[in-house]
Structure 1
């Protein structure tokens, strides 16, 4: 596989794949780098109903459409986790955790965010065997059982609704006294016979029997009272952090998001940001694709002006 490219795009979600389309159509030699599955968080999303022109689609179907379109104009894709982006003269060198190295004239970082882990003892040990961050991926393991979803945003509620088709009952635990999700989704959740909402509680500790999760102790945010909540699976949707550990901190804000200008450029020449990983107000598929298009257009201009 070639190691030298015009544009290297870190992340093959909606932002990265859209950037790939625009850069490839501008006759750039493009490489996409992805550490998981192309499509980003779309792959883990049950249903999309707010992407213009697509009235309703499963996340997986939309992700496949994005991938096929993203690679249709000649962009290449490789897999691995980026651990370093550094200057090599006028070029950028990108290093993966598997030892592969690539050089590019411009880098677009569209690496997205990573789900925040459940902050209770032994959570890491039971991830994949009782704790899951993807109901679409793992919901079938809990068929006809009781599960608990933690979180009050769109992602938590959408995944709770999805998993109702598989399980006996879904508990939703939120720390506030109201949801942060879109009213339409909230209404659907509150009217669903399989969903039980528990307000003003936080996860406190896992309940383990015979080395299996059988429940979750939850704590009331005001009184501190601990209540056992019996369940076989736990799905935390408690926020996410930007995947930017490989970047120079000079282009990041205090929370680790990339600070970009209107053209998606950063304070480091030749590095651009796009999608959920940048500092912005709204993180949605439709905003990510717009970011990707702008970033690619700016990267192409940068290359034409500097090489």
Structure 2
């Protein structure tokens, strides 16, 4: 059994806006809550220079907003650990989390809030020159290119807005755009500002083929998509803004369902396909990836996790600690046969002088429990003593037969 100091009610993997909001709700609900985050708390939002659409703030930097989130979570006694989750075991009621530093933790519920990371093009020179002129975050690295020439790859909101930030330091910023002249993927306001920026130039109908340089970036090879021809452009830095990918690779063998890109499907309660495991923020399938929507995800998941834990605790109280033997009925609330059998079971138990304590479980919401007791179909009844299976009752609509089995 894991040391009790490493046993939590709720573990949140990731400390971005979704994870921090979940932590606030978990702490406020008096759940023993741990946030495991491999980097700086706040995640990629820390690199956002200016946020103007988070309700109540008007204008604030991403790092300052995340500091407020963290401070709020701290006020409710939430614990934080800087480490990286490498493997998980979600097969039992107590979920197991293992980290890169060799630690092991258990939790009654887990919220996956690991976010996303920049997508790599994997072109020649990109990985080799990372940190030597190849970058993915303007707020983090733009100042290192004071007075130099920089290439930006991409034309979405992030690429154009980050490109404009880089012009505060660089002598010139050249943006490589896949589309025809004048067509950018960003919002219209940012596009207009970029076109008016004297330090920004655009190379249309083009993509990057290679990052040039031995020990540091010296230039790029550019391919024109219409002519097929290639040219070289001298520069000292290349910033890639070509999309994001979910940071869910550590879930490969966890049993968590993911789509072909690695994003996690959830329902409206942020539940994954595994009981007691939830997913929020940029690592789940969703329409809008913003701080405000991530915070909403975190709130929903934490409340759902709290209720799940309450159900688990009630189950242990009603069954494991019951003075009587328990009739554990697995049923389907939408199935008439299940409902009729439930009534029959209660009547039979009453006629036997309440010999047993009847506990009903909707199999649709307690899949792990059904798996534990090897229940594959409903209605099904087990006789339990302190949580241990004594026998299984054969399904019947004959009350006399049912009472004889009891």
Is this contact kept in 2: 1:47–1:158, CA < 8 A?
no
Aligned match of 2:233: 229
Aligned match of 1:57: 60
* Pair 1:188 & 2:207 matched: no
Tell me how far apart the structure 2 counterparts of residues 275 and 250 of structure 1 sit (CA, whole Å): 16
Matches within 5 A, 1:1-307: 2-87=5-90, 89-177=92-180, 178-208=183-213, 211-247=215-251, 248=254, 250-307=256-313
Is this contact kept in 1: 2:153–2:176, CA < 8 A?
yes
TM-aligned CA deviation for residue 122 of structure 1? 2.5
Tell me how far apart the structure 1 counterparts of residues 5 and 81 of structure 2 sit (CA, whole Å): 11
Q: Which runs of 4+ in 1 moved over 6 A?
A: none
TM-aligned CA deviation for residue 184 of structure 1? 1.5
TM-score (norm 2): 0.73
Q: CA RMSD in A?
A: 1.5
1:235-270 deviations in Å (ceiling 9; x for gaps): 101111111112235421121101000010111001
Unaligned runs of 5+ in 1: none
Tell me how far apart the structure 1 counterparts of residues 260 and 216 of structure 2 sit (CA, whole Å): 38
Structure having the higher Rg: 2
1:93 is paired with a residue whose SS is strand
Is this contact kept in 1: 2:125–2:212, CA < 8 A?
no
116-125 or 288-297: bigger deviation: 116-125
1:59-91 deviations in Å (ceiling 9; x for gaps): 222222222223221111101211112136311
Tell me how far apart the structure 2 counterparts of residues 180 and 53 of structure 1 sit (CA, whole Å): 28
TM-aligned CA deviation for residue 174 of structure 1? 2.0
TM-aligned CA deviation for residue 114 of structure 1? 1.3
Tell me how far apart the structure 2 counterparts of residues 127 and 272 of structure 1 sit (CA, whole Å): 34
1:48 is paired with a residue whose SS is coil
Tell me how far apart the structure 2 counterparts of residues 70 and 12 of structure 1 sit (CA, whole Å): 11
1-10 or 289-298: bigger deviation: 1-10
Is this contact kept in 1: 2:9–2:31, CA < 8 A?
yes
TM-score (norm 1): 0.96
TM-aligned CA deviation for residue 176 of structure 1? 2.5
Tell me how far apart the structure 1 counterparts of residues 195 and 62 of structure 2 sit (CA, whole Å): 23
Tell me how far apart the structure 1 counterparts of residues 92 and 297 of structure 2 sit (CA, whole Å): 27
TM-aligned CA deviation for residue 140 of structure 1? 1.1
1:74 is paired with a residue whose SS is coil
Unaligned runs of 5+ in 2: 314-406
Tell me how far apart the structure 2 counterparts of residues 56 and 224 of structure 1 sit (CA, whole Å): 44
Tell me how far apart the structure 1 counterparts of residues 59 and 141 of structure 2 sit (CA, whole Å): 22
Tell me how far apart the structure 1 counterparts of residues 32 and 162 of structure 2 sit (CA, whole Å): 38
TM-aligned CA deviation for residue 22 of structure 1? 0.6
TM-aligned CA deviation for residue 203 of structure 1? 0.8
